[in-house]
Amino acid sequence: MWSPCPKCQNGIGRPKRGPSIIWFQPFTENGCVRGVPAAYRLIACKKQGSLTNGNRKAEPESEYRSLITIRSSIERCGAATAKKRACHLNCIGQLVARNEGMRHRFPKSIHSQIEAIFHSVRVMRSTKEENLLGIRSFGTWRVYRNVLHRFGRYMKGRGCVNILDSKEFFECTSEYLESRLSELQEQKGSRQTMEIILSAFGKFSYATNCYIKRHGLDISPVDIESLRERYYSKSKLGLPASSRSFEIRSYPDPVGLIEAIDDQIHQLQASLQYEGGLRASGVGAPGDPRLKNPLTRKGLRGISRDPVTHEPVGVVAAVEKGGKETEHYVSVVTYRRLEEQIANHGSLESDYTEYVSSINRAAKDTGQYEAGRGSHGLKHNFAEERYLQCVDNGMSHEQALQQTSLEMSHFRFRETLTYTRGKVNG
């Protein structure tokens, strides 16, 4: 017998994200009671489906699976405060401990196994501070899943049935990476593609170990770091950095490009990307049409001083990759245009495909078109110019790289070198 947290007994309430409502109701073997319960009965809203039936206790195994599901949900989206979230997780942890002897049911299909494992690190729209190693981006989630499901087809072809078999997984991964490297060399693919594959496998091995730990499985942890390092080195020697025909992604004349864009909304979005270092998703044109991320009045932070030049600038806050909000600095003229757009239409947003088509047409009209430059080329222009601006205003090389990186919604200062390749040396 143990005393539950009164907050948990009264209900978790509405999380920031996830199911509409999840709450707990105390029960004992003889039915629901108030006071000190022997355990908790789990109840969920219709959106997630009923986890128990009436006032009867759920089947032990389904109850255990439900606890794991809800615990995972709370870890991802959390309660209102960290203290309250920790309290809820402690209560659930005691229930999970009570069911430690429960038989673990792992999917039979390789592809279902991949989904089950990857879901253990899915933390959409969380920030890096909230969850450092989880998958926070829908785009990353989609790319990594595609990579691993292709690997799953390879494993099925070899007759493998259990992706948690550490030895078999290591051997299959080694053979698969070798075959993919050879394939990319034959097709004149890029090192960037191989790096995405290696990153996906790194995240999957972390997810596998999280899954093993969470379910208390008596299985050796997965360790493929030596494989990833080996094939990263091989890809650097055997593959070009990029399959694109240009070495520098930035536009030779970004101002002329923006002036040549006919659509006024697209022109404003391009100006924001060039002047403030925003991604396309940050200016209301996310690549995934299912995701809406318009710039609204909430992102207008007024006129302030540029932290580098100390000149008047407009401050625009946008939520971009990984759910991180970043403040970007743009010219006062562009900021006023954005204010007018939001005042008249409520937001700034457009279809990504149409936006990129407008940029490509302008690039062709001004003789700057190269397949693959797209809207991201403007962010490369921002990085090159902002770095030099930082240096001209007294910052050291490392300080300039860090300031530019932060303004582009990155953390590590070396991320800037990815954008300034060919213009700035490390």
Task: Label each residue of the chain as H, E or C.
Answer: CCCCCHHHHHCCECCCCCCCCEEEEEEECCECCCCCCCEEEEEECCCCCCCCCCCCCCCHHHHHHHHHHHHHHHHHHCCCCHHHHHHHHHHHHHHHHHCCCCCCCCCCCHHHHHHHHHHHHECCCCCCCCCCCCECCHHHHHHHHHHHHHHHHHHHHCCCCCCCCHHHHHHHHHHHHHHHHHHHHHCCCCHHHHHHHHHHHHHHHHHHHHHHHHCCCCCCCCCCHHHHHHHHHHHHHHCCCCCCCCCCCCCCCHHHHHHCCCCHHHHHHHHHHHHHCCCCHHHCCCCCCCCCCCECHHHEEEEEECCCCCCEEEEEEEECHHHCEEEEEECHHHHHHHHHHHHHHCCECCCHHHHHHHHHHHHHHCCCCCCCCCCHHHHHHHHHHHHHHHHHCCCCHHHHHHHHHHHCCCCCCCHHHHHCCCCCCC
N- to C-terminal Cα separation, the chain: 61
Whole-angstrom distance, CA of residue 407 vs CA of residue 75:
29
The answer to whether 24 and 91 are in contact (CB under 8 A) is yes
Whole-angstrom distance, CA of residue 57 vs CA of residue 27:
8
User: What is the C-alpha radius of gyration for the chain, rounded to an integer number of angstroms?
Assistant: 25
The answer to whether 176 and 163 are in contact (CB under 8 A) is no
Please state the domain extents for the chain. 6-98, 110-238, 254-419
Residue type, 356: V
The dihedral formed by the CA atoms of 391, 395, 398 and 399, expressed in degrees to the nearest 10: -120
The answer to whether 374 and 356 are in contact (CB under 8 A) is yes
Whole-angstrom distance, CA of residue 248 vs CA of residue 370:
10
CATH class of the domain whose range is 110-238:
mainly alpha
Residue type, 417: L
The answer to whether 169 and 158 are in contact (CB under 8 A) is no
- Specify the pLDDT at position 36: 27
Q: What is the pTM of this model?
A: 0.56
Mean pLDDT by 10 residues, the chain (426 residues): 37 37 36 33 33 36 44 47 54 50 71 90 72 77 92 92 90 94 88 92 92 86 92 89 70 95 96 95 87 91 96 94 85 96 96 95 94 91 94 93 92 84 64
The answer to whether 195 and 167 are in contact (CB under 8 A) is no
- Specify the pLDDT at position 122: 82
Which residues are CB-neighbours of 14 under 8 A, at least 6 positions away? 20, 21
Q: Which CATH superfamily is domain 254-419 in?
A: Intergrase catalytic core (1.10.443.10)
Q: Which residue has the tokens 């396309």?
A: 280
- Specify the pLDDT at position 139: 79
Kindly report the number of other CB atoms within 10 A of residue 46's CB atom.
9
Kindly report the number of other CB atoms within 10 A of residue 39's CB atom.
20
In Å, the largest CA–CA distance within the chain is: 79
* pLDDT tens figures, 109-159: 999 999 999 888 887 766 666 667 788 777 788 899 999 999 999 999 988
The answer to whether 340 and 295 are in contact (CB under 8 A) is no
Q: Which residue has the tokens 């209102």?
A: 80
Residue type, 113: Q
Whole-angstrom distance, CA of residue 257 vs CA of residue 400:
26
Q: Which residue has the tokens 């457009």?
A: 350
The answer to whether 339 and 417 are in contact (CB under 8 A) is no
Residue type, 76: R
What separation in angstroms does the CA of 114 have from each of 32, 45, 108, 119, 134? 38, 27, 11, 9, 15
Whose CA is closest to 154, among 135, 174, 124, 184? Answer: 174
Whose CA is closest to 290, among 279, 301, 303, 281? Answer: 281
Burial code (b: 16+ CB inside 10 Å, e: under 16) for 128-137 equals eebbeebbbb
